[in-house]
Structure formats: C-alpha cells, structure tokens
Amino acid sequence: MSIILPAIEPNAPTLYANMGGPKSRTRTMHVSSTLLGNDDGLVNCPSVIRLGLEFEGADPVDSVETILLAEGFWVPECLREKFVVPTGKLICRPAPPSAEKLSIHSDDAEDVLCQALMLGLCTAQVFDPQRPVLWTETSLTRVLELFDPTGFYA
C-alpha cells in the first residue's frame, strides 16, 4: 500500500511512501466508529450538550448583540457572571443535521444568550472556558456537540 504525502513547499516534488506492496494494491479505508458519546466501559467520553442557534436569515452577530443589549448586558464577557459554563475543556464536533437549534426570534432570550456564550467559547474542535468570548458569524452559526474527555484521559 502506498501513501501519497503532499509537498510542503510549492515547487517540491510529491513524495510516495511505499507500505510494502506495489502501487496496484492500494486501498482506501473509511473510519466509521468513534469514542465520542460513549459513557460506559473502560473508555468513556460522554456527551455534555448540543449547541446551535437558528438565525432565519438575520445577521448572527448583530442579532445576538441586540439580544445582549436588550437583556441589560454591555459585552459578551458579562454573560460569564450570569451563566454557569463547564469549568474544563471539552471536545467539540459538528452535530448531526437533525440536531435541534434554538430560534433567536421565538426562544427564550436567556437560553439564546447562554448558547451564544458557549458558542463564543468554542472553536471547531474545543470548548475552552479560559478563552475570551468571540462572536463571529462562523462561531455563532456552528451547530456542535460537546463531549467530556476526562474519562478518556483519566
């Protein structure tokens, strides 16, 4: 089996790493299993929460900032005083397409702000309560599942 390694420099040649067989015996394998969401057995990484907001065509940052001001807060960092968020880092992955999302127009403003706070503390892979709250179109439109990795790394 051969593995093709991409060139690091723009003009460098492509590298081929031979795994012991001719190029005609190459194969592709798809991984279809995960430890995420597993909450029993020796290794566990249970699901903590799903996050997602539905903006229905509205600008995500403007909409959430409008709700923030209407609820009496000046900046997203002030939400840390109102809501309790997990204290440790969590693993994030995209939620399935069928995952429910909160509507910023019809759901409770406090629930929307709590999810916006948590989305602002997430990257695409990690929830980190120590990072600053960053609201961008990308961060607010993510639909994520968060998992507790402490059973995996214990």
The candidate with the shortest Cα–Cα distance to 88, out of 126, 133, 49, 45, is 126
Strand, helix or coil for residue 133: coil
Measure the CA–CA gap between 129 and 117, rounded to whole angstroms.
Answer: 10
Residue 1: band (very low, low, confident or very high) from pLDDT cuts 50, 70, 90: very low
Note the pLDDT tens digit of each residue in 61-111.
999 999 999 999 999 999 999 999 988 888 888 988 888 999 999 999 999
Query: pTM above 0.85?
Result: no
